[in-house]
Amino acid sequence: MSERPSAAEIGAFLGELRALRERDPLASEFAELMDTKADLLERIADAHPGDAEFADVAEHARRQADRVNGRIR
């Protein structure tokens, strides 16, 4: 099982997201951030195995990240 993301990891992600929104990001930067988002949400879902809503949100985020990165799922 993956380790739950720390508050510092989530805070770093939110800081990167804010910085990206304040300028015109490169497509590769956006794609990398979407991978990070999906990873964090998958780790949160793994920490709550009985919660279908967490699993659905994580699955949706991974599908979006895969599309942005050219990996169709």
Q: Where are the domains of the chain?
A: 27-73
Degrees to nearest 5, angle at CA 63 with 12 and 47: 55
DSSP code for 51: -
Give the pLDDT confidence score for residue 70 in this predicted structure. 87
Give the pLDDT confidence score for residue 50 in this predicted structure. 94
Give the pLDDT confidence score for residue 13 in this predicted structure. 96
Residue 21 CA, distance from chain mean position: 16
Q: For the whole model, what pTM was predicted?
A: 0.87
Residues of the chain with pLDDT under 50: 1
